[in-house]
């Protein structure tokens, strides 16, 4: 049985402040926001807590396919909108999303970003789940696999 957890803006604000405290030491030069969920987080991080690095976006979408395993549908990740043209070569890049659930979109964003030769890639999400195939470098909380997280922008 899936449990829903509702996250409000106040929680998001506090979680972003906590996340910023963790990533500040990385001296981030550019943020890649995975839209749609990563964009509000990237905006708060950049404008309120970090040194206002530029934000660029990549839009990825998971779509169900294949067989279902342990009540979780296998997914494919489609590129909807590529990284825009801001130069990230030799820069310290922070990739941001709201949650690393399956890890598919975060993993794909890392793969796409690597092609642009950044000096370093750091990943951060507010939340992650144990089934993820990529645990972010930084996160604020882990939720069980069967929890459905409802963010305020949904």
Q: Which domain holds residue 124?
A: 3-150
Contact status, residue 29 vs residue 113, Cβ threshold 8 Å: no
List the CATH number of the domain containing 36: 3.40.50.2020
- For 38-64, how does the pLDDT look when each residue is reduced to its tens digit (9 = 90+)? 999 999 999 999 999 999 988 776 766
Cα dihedral 113/115/118/124 (nearest 10): 20
Among residues 53, 14, 17, which one has the least CA distance to residue 33? 53
d(CA 24, CA 113): 20
* Number of separate domains in the chain: 1
- For 55-105, how does the pLDDT look when each residue is reduced to its tens digit (9 = 90+)? 998 877 676 655 444 445 446 665 555 566 688 999 999 999 999 998 988
Among residues 120, 62, 128, 61, which one has the least CA distance to residue 95? 120
3-state secondary structure of 81: strand
- pTM for the model stands at 0.86
Contact status, residue 131 vs residue 101, Cβ threshold 8 Å: yes
């Amino acid at each position: 049985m899936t449990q829903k957890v509702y996250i409000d803006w106040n929680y998001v604000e506090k979680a972003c402040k906590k996340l910023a405290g963790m990533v500040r030491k990385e001296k981030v030069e550019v943020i890649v926001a995975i839209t749609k969920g990563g964009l509000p987080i990237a905006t708060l991080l950049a404008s309120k807590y970090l040194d206002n690095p530029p934000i660029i976006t990549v839009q990825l979408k998971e779509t169900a396919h294949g067989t279902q395993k342990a009540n979780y549908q296998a997914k494919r990740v489609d590129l909807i909108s590529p990284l825009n043209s801001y130069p990230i070569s030799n820069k310290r890049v922070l990739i941001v999303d709201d949650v690393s659930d399956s890890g598919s979109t975060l993993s794909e964003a890392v793969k796409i970003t690597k092609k642009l030769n950044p000096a370093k890639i750091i990943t951060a999400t507010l939340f992650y789940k144990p089934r993820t195939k990529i645990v972010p470098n930084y996160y604020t909380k882990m939720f069980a696999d069967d929890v459905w997280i409802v963010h305020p922008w949904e």
